[in-house]
Amino acid sequence: MNKEELKQKLESKKFNDTTIEFLTNAINDVEELYGEYISEETILERIKQNLNCDIEFMDDSENRTVGEYFSDLKSIKLKKRTPEEEHQTFLHEFLHCISTHKMPNGKVFIGFKNNRVEAGINEAMTQYLTEQKYPKSNKSYQEIKNILQKNIRNNTKRRDDKIIFIW
């Protein structure tokens, strides 16, 4: 998908060019890596449901985290860094955004499990998915990620060295 197509599909959101650029890259990354598990249509619906404003860039003094997705505010904040680091962090936060979804019964699920007890596993899974595109990205959540990888090896099928999961 290119920027103009995305801008048209998300016209009601009125995202600025920077946000459209980051979203375009992230959508293309997710489709390339996980397209057989999540459709473009689902990704776009999750963006419409879970992101209401442009990316907010923070300077170093504002926060010590490099990025964060706020499900209640439906926003993403990123620390100003190099363009590659910003795109890596955005992909991580974008995966949080599109893994948050409202069910037909009105319940909202965040992450790859249905409640916050698994928040650590959710962070590890999100980082694992991010590292499929950016292998040299920030190595956050390493201990819990090691546990997740051990469980993945023991409990899932693998195809082309990527995990198989359901969104």
How confident is the model at residue 34, as a pLDDT?
Answer: 84
Q: How far apart are CA 58 and CA 114, in angstroms?
A: 30
How confident is the model at residue 101, as a pLDDT?
Answer: 76
pLDDT above 90 (res 157): no
* E strand or H helix at 162: strand 162-163
Other residues' Cβ atoms within 10 Å of the Cβ of residue 148:
21
Collapsing DSSP states into helix, strand and coil, what is residue 103?
coil
pLDDT above 70 (res 147): no
Burial 79-118 (b: 16+ CB within 10 A, else e): bebeeebbbbbbbbbbbbbbbbbeeeeeeeebbbeeeeee
Contacts of 15 (CB under 8 A, 6+ apart): 7, 23, 54
* E strand or H helix at 163: strand 162-163
How confident is the model at residue 139, as a pLDDT?
Answer: 62
39-48, 123-132, 143-152: the lowest-pLDDT one: 143-152
Question: 75-79 and 56-58 as β-strands: parallel, antiparallel, unpaired?
Answer: parallel
Q: How far apart are CA 41 and CA 114, in angstroms?
A: 22
Name the pTM for this structure.
0.74
For the chain, what percentages of helix, strand and coil (3-state, to nearest 5) are there? Answer: 50, 15, 35
Q: How far apart are CA 102 and CA 57, in angstroms?
A: 27
Q: How far apart are CA 30 and CA 167, in angstroms?
A: 12
pLDDT above 70 (res 58): yes
Strands annotated E in 42-129? 56-58, 67-70, 75-79, 100-102, 108-110
pLDDT > 90 in the chain, percent: 48
